[in-house]
Amino acid sequence: NPYVLVKVFASLPQVERGVSKIIGGDPKGNNFLYTNGKCVILRNIDNPALADIYTEHAHQVVVAKYAPSGFYIASGDVSGKLRIWDTTQKEHLLKYEYQPFAGKIKDIAWTEDSKRIAVVGEGREKFGAVFLWDSGSSVGEITGHNKVINSVDIKQSRPYRLATGSDDNCAAFFEGPPFKFKFTIGDHSRFVNCVRFSPDGNRFATASADGQIYIYDGKTGEKVCALGGSKAHDGGIYAISWSPDSTHLLSASGDKTSKIWDVNVNSVVSTFPMGSTVLDQQLGCLWQKDHLLSVSLSGYINYLDRNNPSKPLRVIKGHSKSIQCLTVHKNGGKSYIYSGTGLFLNPALHYWDSETGENDSFAGKGHTNQVSRMTVDESGQLISCSMDDTVRYTSLTLRDYSGQGVVKLDVQPKCVAVGPGGYAVVVCIGQIVLLKDQRKCFSIDNPGYEPEAVAVHPGGDTVAVGGADGNVRLYSILGTTLKDEGKLLEAKGPVTDVAYSHDGAFLAVCDASKVVTVFSVADGYSENNVFYGHHAKIVCLAWSPDNEHFASGGMDMMVYVWTLSDPETRVKIQDAHRLHHVSSLAWLDEHTLVTTSHDASVKEWTITY
């Protein structure tokens, strides 16, 4: 195989303020799973850099749960589609698909024999269903609530019991199969966010926005106690998870703490303070083997330390929004991948160790809007341009925004390129700006076309600007000015990206008409070759360090690696980021390509020719 996917640096869970986030556990104990956008992300709990992404849902996925057998996963989306798929093969073949009701699926539970599934959520005429996994035939009715059902669980031993929790402030208790409504539990005064049976089936717990956790008998549904006497937390409780031995319970709350409870003696064993900002609210949790995980509103996944509750053992960071751009840079012998993203919940810039996937965000106050392009200059500064109308220079040794160069622009920048000697060129909406040593020194205000992309020749004297009119124009850098050379290179459609090979011999241009055109610099920029293959608009280009190959990525979710001398010899990576278009590419070395996409993941590929 000419290409091999070596690493997947996965996105974080997609979270929403005031909404529980379900983290699914693996019965075999190896993985955990969660959702982001249309993706279900499976990660190794001991080494979260090992990840797998399931991308077959057509709509945003809300929840995914392993079958107790470990062989299948059921995942439910906002349209009410439930997909049951294989976990044992890389292809994750679809076994069954159902539509239990029309509306958002919020939780899923399996019986211990992996034969029946309960699904609850926001249906139009009903809020839940329970049926056989292989035929879809009903095995009972989920009634007794008059509002959205947030949570469901099934006792993992016979006689079966089922419990639900709803926005009507009630829990409900069912016996079965076939499952029949027995009674409503009205102890809570606010939304019931989570209901969970203990693994041994002797107890079940309910957690609510009222800050209370109640414990009930698993077989009869009789109330046993309220954890903590009055309130369990000072804020709403979004999630609970039992210890494998059924003696303790982990809870996650909007009061920015998680707690471990000893259920038998009704006392708090540990309180984990997770921080002081809104983003430190805890929305989800999972107790699996010796691992205790808690999910913050920031999307970060915290591994809690029972021996030192004040500091997590590790925090998994990353992107939870689509990634717009990336670049790579070697720093102290290590290769790092820098990625820039859409918005708000997490900082715009991130760096990843390309070996381990360990990553963090840049410190300090950074861009306040989407980062559209970034690159690294010869002095090791990361230069990024953003829809907040700034270009920022950030030291890659400090990885801190504060007190560093910020250039304010008149209009929104789209693309930035750097050359030697402290030069950078920014194309903005209707404007081209020349920067030298972190200052604006020249601008072309009405170029007469809409500039879209820019590249600076490695020699530092020529700038290529691609336009929406399907042409590339060449400019010379003369001191502190740009001079139009009056030369037009024709692409096959509106230009989307331009890139010079590292040796400066070739200029590659990609366009919205699905074509890459390569021009030979030494021959007066004559057309060298044309590369066809993409099925949709191409959006990004990157040259391999070998100057013989380059990669392109497009809206067709494809990545092609092209050989300069022969357009027919190409490596085609189909569905590089399935169902999401490729937004950016970069090479770590001659055989390692990094790609990213609106699925918020970063992937590393080994390419062989």
Cross-strand partners of 408: 390
Query: How many Å is the maximal CA-CA distance in the chain?
Result: 86
Six token digits for residue 397: 């040794």
Mapped onto helix, strand or coil, the DSSP state of residue 5 is: strand
Residue 572, judged by CB atoms within 10 A of its CB (0-12, 13-18, 19+), counts as middle
DSSP 312-371: -SEEE---SS-EEEEEEEEETTEEEEEEEE--TTS-SEEEEETTT--EEEPBSS--SS-E
Q: What's the pTM?
A: 0.85
For domain 11-291, give the fold.
Answer: Methylamine Dehydrogenase; Chain H (2.130.10)
Please check whether the two domains, 11-291 and 496-608, share a CATH topology.
yes
Residue that the structure tokens 């957690």 belong to: 207
10-residue block means of pLDDT along the chain (609 residues)? 89 94 96 95 92 93 98 98 94 96 97 98 94 97 97 97 98 97 98 98 98 98 94 97 98 98 97 96 97 96 97 89 80 78 48 77 72 86 87 79 79 95 96 96 96 97 97 97 96 97 98 98 96 96 97 95 95 87 92 88 92
- The superfamily CATH assigns to domain 496-608 is YVTN repeat-like/Quinoprotein amine dehydrogenase (2.130.10.10)
**CA–CA separation, 107 vs 207, rounded Å?**
15
**CA–CA separation, 48 vs 396, rounded Å?**
25
Six token digits for residue 528: 């060298």
Six token digits for residue 519: 């021009």
**CA–CA separation, 428 vs 373, rounded Å?**
12
The pLDDT value given to residue 347? 43
Burial 465-484 (b: 16+ CB within 10 A, else e): bbbbbbbbbbbebeeeebee
The pLDDT value given to residue 18? 95
The pLDDT value given to residue 317? 87
Whether the Cβ atoms of residue 485 and residue 475 lie closer than 8 Å to each other: yes
Q: Where are the domains of the chain?
A: 11-291, 496-608
